[in-house]
Structure 1
Amino acid sequence: MTRLARPRRRVSLAGLLTAALLATPLIALTTPAAAQPADAPAPALIPKPASQQALAGEDYSLKPWSVVGVSSNSKERRAALRIAEQLSSQLRRSTGYPLPVVLLAPGVADIKLSTNGPASLGAEGYQLRVDRKGVGVTAATPEGLYRGVTTLRQLLPAKADAKTRQAGPWRLAGTAVADSPRFGYRGAMLDVSRHFFSVAEVKRYIDLISLYKINKLHLHLADDQGWRIQVDSWPRLTTYGGSLEVGGTPGGSYSKADFAEIIRYAADHYLTVIPEIDTPGHTNAALASYAELNCNGVAPPLYTGTNVGFSSLCVAKDITYEFLDDVFREVAEQAPGDVLHLGGDEAHSTQHSDYLTFVPKAAALVTKQKKRVMGWQEIAETPLPAGSIAQYWGTDDARSQELARKAAAQGAKVVLSPANRAYLDMKYDASTPYGLDWAGLVNVEKSYSWNPSTLIPNLPESAIAGVEAPIWTETLDDLDKLEYMAFPRLAGVAELGWSQASALDWTAYKDRLGAQGSRWDVLSVNFFRAPEINWR
């Protein structure tokens, strides 16, 4: 049975606090030893770790008097303590036990979180061990510790994620994990332009995507239908250009305080926000807000439909670049990450010669802000600055693949977002009640069953930065619809980005995926119960 969207909901502050803590792992509470079942195989984890071993006879149950201990150098101590407190806070909620957090002293804590691991673990690698003595997660950085704690969450029964106190048992199977990511870029894109999503709703999405080791949140902030980020030097972009959304319903925008809160919340979940201002096409909201940005000096009306390719900045006007200079500066000031996305796709109303002129000039304004340029695959038609990233959204067509190779030939990295596999707004099947199908029907198996290293012929793996799962919102006007289209497919794309190529096997994956259903139920995720998965 599939569960369709409920009426649009708003997330309460209490719910947000709970969700924030749910994005960190949990530890189990004890039941009498006689009630414990026999040792089980190593738990099914997503993404699949690089190495995982079941430890027979080494199961561990948390005691009511257990302590969470933190071992970290002074530079990283604050971040490590925050991760530990997130963990303990959720455990207090679901189990009722105190679980104090302390700086680690020998013999004091049976749950040990450490950032004093060897540098060879890398920025996101970690080691995790559960045995009869307790639980240990070791990393070389707070980010690696967070990834390990996220894995620890999946070692627990799903009810450990509940908002209210639950009955045990709370056993962790004896397990040893050594893990690190295949690709450094593992993204999820959220289109807030076609339909606007509030800060609370974006936080909810962060909670969910961070469970699967996504580390980039790409926000599509400006398009024909709405401009969603405050720019003080051009205030009508939000007051007018952000006033509507698809269908003509009220839109919205993020104040600088709003956006700062999204940045902070994402950082607490070890996600870097990548802001996108799509140019030179997909710009009707800006053109409607300021007549002088149009070649004829006449502002078009606001647009609330779903067509693409009809708008363009005026490439020949100096004010276009004055505008972008201001916009990129103010957006860069709000986003501390090292990447700014300038769009560049579907510029069908821009003359090709103008496009070839525009992109290098726009890219120079991005690098002026000390940011790396990111854009959709079409930007590879132009010279790219050092450190650029081209985002492939093709559907196995020869032209798109050639653009990816052109980007790599210039030294740019490529992020793979094939629309016929990774676009989460594509319908699962012909009966899916919303979403689009221009790139085909994308069931859960198709979304998972591709290898980033071999998708594009003659594109070297060294040129691949990673993967990203975009979700466009032409037909998704509330959080429930968004979740329905994103889950379960986002978990599979996340695994493609994290797990080693040798681990990618549909038959094994779909069995592990089935075990996520109970967790998503506890978290009230409105996921699509794909019939090919044995949900349990």
Structure 2
Amino acid sequence: MRQHRTPRLLCTLLLVAAASISVVGAAPPTADKTVTPLGQVIPAPASVQAHGTPYRISTDTRIRVEDSSEVRKVGEYLADILRPSTGYRLPVTPSAHGQGGIQLRLGAKGLGAEGYRLDSGRSGITITAAEPAGLFYGVQTLRQLLPASVEEDSTQPGPWLVAGGTIEDSPRYAYRGVMLDVARHFFTVDQVKRFIDEMALYKVNELHLHLSDDQGWRIAIDSWPQLATYGGSTQVGGGQGGYYTKAQYKEIVRYASSRHLEVVPEIDMPGHTNAALASYPELNCDGVAPPLYTGTDVGFSSLCVSKDVTYDFADDVIRELAAITPGEYIHIGGDEAHSTPHADYLAFMERVQPIVAKYGKTVVGWHQLAGASPAPGALLQYWGLDGTDPAEKEQVAAAAQDGAGVILSPADRTYLDMKYDKDTPLGQDWAGFVEVQRAYDWDPGNYLAGVPGSAVKGVEAPLWSETLVTSADIDYMVFPRLPGVAELGWSPASTHDWDTYKVRLAAQAPRWDALGVGYYKSPQVPWTTE
């Protein structure tokens, strides 16, 4: 799937190489088309000032880092990206040992925990931030300022020019998520890692893993072992399924953390629980386990709310999951509990939410949790449509006014498993068709009437996997919509403009080609061939 574009603009390469004889690591003023304008990145930066001459990464370039293991990790990450395509050594060295090159520094003020400043000019590039996460996001911007061929895994000719100027950038929202449904179809650790790398390029910082549903249970729980070994043995369509051991889950968490993503595990309750009910008869009110389920219907299963064993089960699962999840959140689902009487739903949530707090985590639930009494500090994930029952929207607004946070995931805007149009070979259409412009052209800040702007904590793009089996399936449904949702989460509202965004989006295509990411070539986007 990789496309090599080595022959282009060789004359320019020779000119730049000649210029470097007099000034190592720099380039003269140029209108070279291989220099990406500072603002042509996704998400759009908060502030861009173009000035000065480009910097040229050369054989002499070093990546200079502060004496900190976290900063060094960001430097090594950058080196690992640049070395294969440039063919340069790019040693990662202490910043005290010289000037110039690419420098990563802590100490920036006024940009928050995830903000960064990138300065580029003749003598080098400096990325400064208050925290390592900010340096990491600055590196993502640097990647996009380099030619797309920098993503190749074999040596390319360059030139490796970075436009001169300054970017100051920080996110609009603290929560910028993507959900991967591993319950309907199971995806391996390596597949999840690949997905994490794709998310990181666009400054996503939350990976919501949908770990349980009617069709499969995907995480080992020591105190209830059959959840994984039996409940995880199948998937939609009857395939063999699978589950993560605790060691494998920890590896996903570790890898996500190395890309400054937090894992948000979800155990959906009290509905969407057939895999658990099939694994343990005592979780059913009649004591009879149903058969495993491989279809795609929803709303037919429920834990037995009146049994004490149900809360022993919930406590054990949340306790074990919290122990291997260093992040802040545990998602308890709560949607489409059509088989749970409303009074039982209220009673269930009243007992389960305190368990999450008991183990030091914050509750996240689908927005139906607003119809109960959300725990203090809980986040409600709104997935309704433009035409959603007004009463549900009012419940969410009331809960938000009472202190609950809101994550916006409107299905007819952000659900990455929705078809693009009637001819899309994958996905579903119950929320309508979601083309690229529709996924981008809305404002989280004023989407839900009655929800205070301060209550909106961010956005999340869910990817349900009823029709998705391979990583290629994931790529096709995720790209090109994910970058738009990521930009809604990161960029200031003032940068929001479809006409300019679609041009920046088109310029991402060669990068996806270099990374081996297959994508939907939407007719709404003026795709580039270079």
- Distance of aligned partners of 1:105 and 1:267 in 2 relative to their CA distance in 1, 3 Å threshold: same
**Which of 210, 233, 245 is the equivalent residue of 1:243?**
233
Report deviation, 1:30: 6.4
1:274 aligns with 2:264: yes
- Partner Cα distance (1:399, 1:504) in 2: 30
Q: Aligned equivalents of 2:172 and 2:498: distance in 1?
A: 18
Deviations 1:65-84 (A, max 9, x none): 11111125xxxx10100110
User: Which residue of structure 1 aligns with residue 50 of structure 2?
Assistant: 54
In 2: Cα distance, 1:416 partner to 1:403 partner: 15
Deviation at 1:338, TM superposition (A): 1.1
Which residues of 2 match residues 94-493 of structure 1 at below 5 A?
Answer: 94-105=85-96, 107-118=98-109, 120-396=110-386, 397=388, 398-493=390-485
Alpha-carbon spacing, 1:438–1:312, altered in 2? closer, same or farther (3 Å):
same
- Pair 1:503-2:495 in alignment: yes
Amino acid in structure 2 at the alignment position of 1:450: W
Q: Contact between 2:186 and 2:242, CA under 8 Å: does it hold in 1?
A: yes
Paired residue type of 2:327: G
Measure, in 1, the Cα distance between the counterparts of 2:395 and 2:298: 21
Structure 1 range deviating more: 105-114 or 447-456: 105-114
d(CA) in 2 for partners of 1:399 and 1:46?
A: 36
Cα distance, 1:457 vs structure 2: 1.1
State whether residues 123 and 143 of structure 1, in contact with CA within 8 Å, keep that contact through their aligned partners in structure 2.
yes
Q: Helix, strand or coil for the counterpart of 1:394?
A: coil
Would the aligned equivalents of 2:205 and 2:262 in 1 still touch at CA under 8 Å? yes
Q: Does the 8 A contact of 1:393 with 1:400 survive in 2?
A: no
Amino acid in the other structure paired with 1:91: L
Q: Which residue of 2 aligns with 1:528?
A: 520
Give the Cα–Cα distance (whole angstroms) in 2 for the partners of residues 169 and 32 of structure 1: 12
Find the counterpart in structure 1 of residue 63 from structure 2: 68
Q: Give the AA of the match of 1:449.
A: D
Distance 1:317 1:106 in 2: 66
Give the deviation of 1:376 after TM superposition.
0.2
Number of equivalenced pairs: 504
CA RMSD of aligned residues (A): 1.6
**For 1:167-203, what per-residue CA distance to the aligned partner results, in whole angstroms no more than 9, with x for missing partners?**
1211111131000000000000000000000000000
The alpha-carbon deviation at position 155 of structure 1 amounts to: 0.5
Deviation at 1:58, TM superposition (A): 1.2
Mind listing any 5+ residue stretches in structure 1 that lack a counterpart? Answer: 4-28
Question: Contact 1:225–1:284 (CA<8 Å) still a contact in 2?
Answer: yes
Counterpart of 2:445 in 1: which secondary structure?
Answer: coil
Give, in angstroms, the shift of residue 43 of structure 1: 4.5
1:133 offset after TM fit, Å?
1.0
Please list the CA deviations of residues 432-490 of structure 1 after superposition, one character each: whole Å capped at 9, or x if unmatched.
00100000100000000000011111211100000000000000111111110011101
Distance 1:197 1:97 in 2: 35
Distance 1:136 1:235, change over 3 A: same
Q: Counterparts of 1:33 and 1:346 in 2: how far apart (Å)?
A: 64
Q: Are the equivalent residues in 2 in contact too, given 1:226–1:245 (CA < 8 A)?
A: yes
Distance (Å, rounded) in 1 between the aligned partners of 2:165 and 2:72: 24
Which of 15, 19, 41 does residue 33 from structure 1 map onto?
19
| Conserved 8 A contact 2:38-2:167 | no
Letter in 1 for 2:510: S
The alpha carbon displacement at 1:406 in A equals: 2.5
Q: Give, in whole Å, the separation in 1 of the partners of 2:39 and 2:381.
A: 34
Bigger mean CA offset, 62-71 vs 137-146 = 62-71
Residue equivalent to 2:511:
519
For the 8 Å contact 2:100–2:123, the answer to whether it is kept is no
Q: Distance in 2 between matches of 1:407 and 1:367?
A: 18
Contact kept? 2:401, 2:451, Cα under 8 Å: no
Aligned partner of 2:9 in structure 1 is none
Cα distance in structure 2, aligned partners of 1:171 and 1:383: 55
User: The residue matched to 1:121 in structure 2 has which SS?
Assistant: coil
Aligned to 2:11: none
Corresponding letter in the other structure for 1:443: E
String of CA shifts for 1:289-333, please: whole Å, max 9, x gaps: 000000000000000000000000000000000001000000111
Task: Please list the CA deviations of residues 49-78 of structure 1 after superposition, one character each: whole Å capped at 9, or x if unmatched.
Answer: 0001221x4111122111111125xxxx10
> 1-side partners of 2:199 and 2:102: how far apart?
25
Instruction: Please state how far the C-alpha of 1:502 moved relative to its aligned partner.
Output: 0.7
Q: What's the offset of the Cα at 1:90? A: 2.3
Residue 87 (str. 1) matches residue 78 (str. 2) = yes
Partner residue in 1 for 2:486: 494
The separation in 2 between residues aligned to 1:227 and 1:92, in whole angstroms, is 40
- How far has the Cα of 1:94 moved from its partner? 1.1
What TM-score does the superposition give when structure 1 sets the normalisation length? 0.92
Q: Post-superposition shift, 1:106? A: 6.2
Contact 1:380 1:407 (8 Å CA) reproduced: yes
Q: Write the distance in 1 (CA, Å) between the matches of 2:148 and 2:214.
A: 41
- Residues 137-172 of structure 1 show CA distances to partners (whole Å, capped at 9, x for unaligned) of 000110111111111110000000111111121111
* Residues 388-414 of structure 1: CA deviation (Å, up to 9, x unaligned): 100000102223322321320331100
CA contact (8 A) 1:219 1:275 kept: yes
Displacement after TM superposition at 1:345 (Å): 0.1
Give aligned-pair identity as a percent. 54
SS of the counterpart of 2:216? Answer: coil
